[in-house]
Structures are given as C-alpha cells and as structure tokens.
C-alpha cells in the first residue's frame, strides 16, 4: 500500500536512539524528508546516515535540548526554512528512571521527567499547529507508553505519559476542523538494539541499569504474544497513523503496540 509519505515533511523529536531511531528508519523507508531533533549530535549523525541508506529523501539534524525555551520553534523552523511546511510531527522525546512512587521523592526528578516527556510535546505541537492549520492538513503522533495506564515502578513517568493522551485527544478535537489529526502510540517495553543508542540515552548505561533480566522475563511472560516490542514495531504504527491515505479518518485514537501488554 502506498502511504503517500514520499517527500513528506516529517519532524521526529528524540529521533537518535531506540524508539526514535526506529521511527526515523520507518519514515526513511517511505522516502520522507525528515528533521531529526536530538541533543546527541554523534548518534543523530549516525542515524541520519542510516536513514539516507534506507531511502529518506533528505535528513536534517538539529542538535538541541528540547526542554529549552524556544526549542519547539527552532525545530519547526528548521522544517519551514528547508521545505516550507510540516506534514507530520512525531512527539517522541522522552526520559525515564524506573522507581517505586514512595522512593521517587526528588522534585528535580519530577521536574525533569515532566519537562522532557510532556512540556516538549506541548511546545512542538503548539508551534506546528500554525503551519499545519494554514495548509489545512497535518498529522501529529504522540509516543506515550503502557505506563500511562498504570505500571509498577513507573508512577512519575506514567503520569506524564497519561498527560500526552489528554493532550493528543484535545488536539484532535480542537484541530480536526483545520484538517489536523492527532493520535497516540503506546509501546510496551522496547529494549534498544545493538548500536541503537548514544551516550545521551537513558539506556546508555546498559539494559540491566533499567530492567534486569528477571524483570524483562516477567514482562515477556505477562505479554499475551510472549515477545517484546521492537523499534520497528512502533515505527510501523507511527507511519500508518501519519499516512494521509491509510489513516485519513483516524484521529484521537490510542494504539497500543506491546503484544497485548495493554489493551486501552
């Protein structure tokens, strides 16, 4: 099926590692033009090269802290200056430190988690709505998480990811009349592939620093399909939701991509 994304102007925040990298690869295979926004310059350049090898029409890297004032305007401005518009925005930027709610009492941790997972999406979305509305079309995909529905050791993180669902559905209701669609993808546990993360990634310290083997085994055992989610699994759902043909009439929806680990 032709998803009509060849030459599409796509922004992926946090596009250098793990899920973001997979999403960039997914749009590359469709021949899209991509702005990859991330703070890890070395890893972003590596993913840029990978995307071009997979068929991306063009990849522009913008290196910045997406939580900084004006970051959303800078990222959207990159696409506007290069291509004159934005067709797709993927709000993928995220950060997490697993821990029980009773233990995560550090307000600095709360603040960083909220700013990274939620504020960045609000910022980029507000800016992208301008050019999308003027064009009368656009697709925004928010990367949430199974944790949005409640998960052990994911209280602060899950709260921010639940906020993304409300933001996406509000956007869908308010902006649909302007031709803009907004949807959510909720991945299950996605372990990074070899070479799939840079030094700035939360996974940089290794898988065991986030989830040890027994925890990974437990997650797999509790998943109906008995397998973990890959970055390509998430990318396939994101690319579909971004398609102006395949998902033309889909907005305000939450798609869980976790082998049945959640069923919203």
Q: What are the phi and psi torsion angles at 227 (to 5°)?
A: -150, 155
Domain presence at residue 149: yes
- pLDDT in the model for residue 211: 65
pLDDT tens sequence across 82-125:
999 999 999 999 999 999 999 999 999 999 999 999 999 999 99
Is the pLDDT reported for residue 255 higher than 90?
A: yes
At 149-189, the pLDDT tens digits run 999 999 999 999 999 999 999 999 999 999 999 999 999 99
Mean per-residue pLDDT, 227-236: 95
The residue from 89, 157, 169, 255 that is catalytic is 157
Domain with residue 207: its CATH number is 3.40.50.720
Hey, how many other C-beta atoms are within 10 angstroms of the C-beta on 244? 17
- On the 0-12 / 13-18 / 19+ scale of CB atoms within 10 A, 191 is middle
Confidence label for 147 from pLDDT (cuts 50, 70 and 90) = very high
Whether 93 is covered by a domain: the verdict is: yes
Taking only the tens place, the pLDDT of each residue in 46-86 is 999 999 999 999 999 999 999 999 999 999 999 999 999 99
d(CA 190, CA 200): 17
Residue 240's pLDDT band (boundaries 50, 70, 90)? very high
- At 202, the pLDDT band (50, 70, 90 cuts) reads low
Higher local confidence (pLDDT), 261 or 217: 261
The band of 207, judged by pLDDT with boundaries at 50, 70 and 90, is low
Question: What's the pTM?
Answer: 0.94
Q: Look up 157 and say whether it is catalytic.
A: yes
More confident residue, 51 or 215: 51
Residue at 3 is within a domain? no
Within a domain: 263: no
Query: How many residues appear in the chain?
Result: 264
- The answer, yes or no, to whether residue 203 has pLDDT greater than 80, is no
Could you tell me where the beta strands, DSSP code E, fall in the chain?
9-13, 33-38, 58-63, 88-91, 138-143, 180-187, 254-257
| 2 in a structural domain | no
Query: What percent of the chain is predicted at pLDDT more than 90?
Result: 85
- Domain count for the chain, please give it: 1
Q: Is 126 part of a structural domain of the chain?
A: yes
- Integer angstrom CA distances of residue 138 from 149, 238, 249: 27, 14, 12
Residues contacting 4, CB < 8 A, separation 6+: 243, 244, 245
Q: Looking at the domain assignment, is residue 165 inside a domain?
A: yes
Domain limits at 82?
9-257
Does some domain include residue 48? yes
């Amino acid at each position: 099926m032709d998803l009509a994304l060849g030459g599409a102007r796509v922004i992926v925040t946090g596009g250098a590692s793990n899920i973001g990298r997979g999403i960039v690869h997914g749009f590359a295979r469709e021949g899209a033009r991509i702005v990859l926004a991330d703070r890890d310059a070395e890893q972003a350049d590596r993913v840029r090269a990978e995307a071009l090898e997979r068929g991306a029409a063009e990849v522009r890297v913008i290196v910045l802290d997406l939580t900084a004032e004006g970051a959303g305007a800078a990222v959207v401005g990159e696409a506007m200056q290069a291509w004159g518009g934005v067709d797709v925005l993927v709000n993928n930027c995220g950060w997490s430190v697993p821990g029980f709610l009773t233990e995560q009492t550090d307000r600095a941790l709360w603040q960083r988690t909220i700013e990274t997972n939620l504020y960045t999406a609000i910022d980029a979305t507000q800016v992208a709505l301008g050019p999308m509305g003027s064009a009368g079309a656009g697709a925004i995909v928010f990367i949430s998480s199974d944790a949005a529905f409640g998960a052990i050791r994911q209280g602060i993180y899950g709260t921010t990811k639940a906020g993304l669902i409300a933001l996406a559905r509000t956007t869908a209701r308010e902006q649909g009349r302007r031709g803009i669609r907004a949807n959510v993808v909720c991945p299950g546990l996605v372990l990074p592939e070899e070479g799939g993360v840079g030094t700035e990634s939360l996974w940089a310290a290794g898988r065991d620093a986030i989830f040890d083997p027994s925890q990974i085994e437990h997650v797999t055992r509790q998943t109906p399909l008995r397998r973990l989610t890959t970055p390509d699994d998430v990318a396939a759902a994101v690319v579909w939701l971004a398609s102006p043909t395949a998902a033309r009439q889909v907005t305000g929806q939450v798609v869980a991509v976790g082998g049945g680990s959640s069923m919203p």
